[in-house]
């Protein structure tokens, strides 16, 4: 079945470090891929979205590229700030044979940025 | 812009108790969702509704009921709370059902069962 794998449960960095959060997915359809971010005390919110039509998404200094060959959708940021501390979810939207596909959430990666 | 309001923010219940969580949205979105969030497990879909009075089961519907009596509100009932259960329940809405639509989430209801 369709699934998303985030192996990193927690990432701890210092300010200005490079961020890389790993995400791989599995689907037989044409996916839409998302990164959602959840700040403490809030619900998740969309960070960026990529479809098969545009394989790279960029938002607020974060970027993610959809790689069909390796079925990966890693999240990167060149220089993190303390305010980026949050939980990041990789999400797969499968086509499912219709326009009414399902969303599959990864387990989430807790990012802690030390000032 | 709009907002999703979940009440209560914190809910403490007793084992076996029936508990109801409420969600209101003013986006005028058609589709609403209830997710359960457990640490290290991501978000799992409990119920969703594509329009008023519609209900669709998600992956985790056993032990829950839902109600969508009007477009702007969606409630979730835990039919029998389990001892020591702790989880966050997140309500969300989207303009329509579909794999490309953005979800807008509320801040969550944190449940603890004694």
Give the per-residue pLDDT at B102.
87
Give the per-residue pLDDT at B97.
67
Average pLDDT over residues B63-72: 96
| Measured distance CA(B75)–CA(B6) in Å, rounded | 9
Percent of chain A with pLDDT over 70: 94
Check: CB of residue B25 under 8 Å from CB of residue B2: yes
Inspect the interface and report whether the beta carbons of A107 and B41 lie closer than 8 Å: yes
Q: Is A108 on the interface with B (CB under 8 A)?
A: yes
* Among B43, B45, B99, beta carbon nearest to A93: B99
Average pLDDT over residues A78-104: 83
Structure tokens at A100: 């009414």
Closest-CA residue of chain B to A52:
B100
Q: Strand A86-93 relative to strand A103-105: parallel, antiparallel, unpaired?
A: antiparallel
Check: CB of residue B87 under 8 Å from CB of residue B36: yes
Give the per-residue pLDDT at A19.
98
Q: Does residue A12 register a pLDDT over 80? A: yes
Inspect the interface and report whether the beta carbons of A43 and B4 lie closer than 8 Å: yes
Work out the mean pLDDT of chain A and round it to a whole number: 90
Instruction: Kindly report the nearest CA distance between residue B69 and chain A, in angstroms.
Output: 23
Hunting for tokens 């220089």 — which residue is that? Answer: A79
Residues in a beta bridge with B105: B92
Which residues lie closer than 8 Å to A53 by C-beta, 6 or more apart?
Answer: none
CB-CB neighbors (< 8 A) of A101 in chain B:
98-99
* Among A36, A44, A51, beta carbon nearest to B100: A51
Q: Does residue A98 register a pLDDT over 80? A: no
Interface test mutation site (partner A, options B43, B47, B59, B99, max chain A beta carbons within 10 A)? B99
What are the pLDDT digits (tens) for A37-61?
999 999 999 999 988 777 899 999 9
Residue scoring higher pLDDT (A20 or B39):
A20
Give the per-residue pLDDT at B88.
96
Inspect the interface and report whether the beta carbons of A99 and B99 lie closer than 8 Å: yes
CB-CB neighbors (< 8 A) of B4 in chain A:
43
Give the per-residue pLDDT at A43.
96
When pLDDT is cut at 50, 70 and 90, the band that residue B1 belongs to is: confident
Which residues lie closer than 8 Å to B99 by C-beta, 6 or more apart?
Answer: A31, A32, A93, A94, A95, A96, A99, A100, A101, A102, A103
Is A83 strand, coil or helix?
A: helix
Give the per-residue pLDDT at A95.
62
Q: Strand B10-13 relative to strand B4-7: parallel, antiparallel, unpaired?
A: unpaired
When pLDDT is cut at 50, 70 and 90, the band that residue A99 belongs to is: very low
User: Computed from CA positions of residues B43, B57, B74, A49, in that sequence, does the dihedral angle turn out positive or negative?
Assistant: positive
Q: Is A57 on the interface with B (CB under 8 A)?
A: no
Is A82 strand, coil or helix?
A: helix
Average pLDDT over residues A22-33: 87
Hunting for tokens 């791989």 — which residue is that? Answer: A24
Inspect the interface and report whether the beta carbons of B107 and A106 lie closer than 8 Å: no
Q: Does residue B12 register a pLDDT over 90? A: yes
Give the per-residue pLDDT at B25.
97
Q: Which of B28, B23, B32, B73 is nearest to B56 (CA)?
A: B32
Give the per-residue pLDDT at B84.
85
Inspect the interface and report whether the beta carbons of A49 and B44 lie closer than 8 Å: no
Which residues lie closer than 8 Å to A57 by C-beta, 6 or more apart?
Answer: A35, A48, A49, A50, A63, A64, A65
Structure tokens at B32: 């609403």
Inspect the interface and report whether the beta carbons of A93 and B45 lie closer than 8 Å: no
Percent of chain B with pLDDT over 70: 96
Average pLDDT over residues A21-40: 91
Please give the backbone phi and psi of residue A82, each rounded to the nearest 5 degrees, phi first.
Answer: -55, -35
Give the per-residue pLDDT at A100.
52
Residue scoring higher pLDDT (B11 or A66):
B11
| Measured distance CA(B46)–CA(A42) in Å, rounded | 19
């Amino acid at each position: 079945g369709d699934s998303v794998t985030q192996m990193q449960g927690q990432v701890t960095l210092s300010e200005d470090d490079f961020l890389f959060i790993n995400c791989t997915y599995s689907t037989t359809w044409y996916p839409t891929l998302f990164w959602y971010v959840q700040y403490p005390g809030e619900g998740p919110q969309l960070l960026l979205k990529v479809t098969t039509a545009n394989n790279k998404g960029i938002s607020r200094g974060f970027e993610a590229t959809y790689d069909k060959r390796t079925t990966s959708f890693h999240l990167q940021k060149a220089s993190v700030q303390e305010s980026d501390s949050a939980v990041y979810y990789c999400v797969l939207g499968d086509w499912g044979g219709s326009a009414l596909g399902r969303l599959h959430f990864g387990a989430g990666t807790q990012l802690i940025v030390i000032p | 812009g709009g907002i999703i309001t979940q009440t209560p923010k914190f809910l403490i219940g007793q084992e076996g108790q029936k508990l109801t969580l409420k969600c209101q949205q003013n986006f005028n979105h058609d589709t609403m969702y209830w997710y359960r969030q457990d640490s290290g497990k991501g978000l799992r879909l409990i119920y969703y509704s594509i329009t008023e009075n519609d209900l669709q089961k998600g992956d985790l519907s056993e032990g829950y009921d839902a109600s969508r009596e009007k477009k702007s509100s969606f409630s979730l009932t835990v039919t029998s709370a389990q001892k020591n259960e702790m989880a966050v329940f997140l309500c969300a809405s989207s303009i329509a059902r579909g794999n490309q639509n953005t979800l807008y989430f509320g801040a969550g209801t944190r449940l603890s069962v004694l």
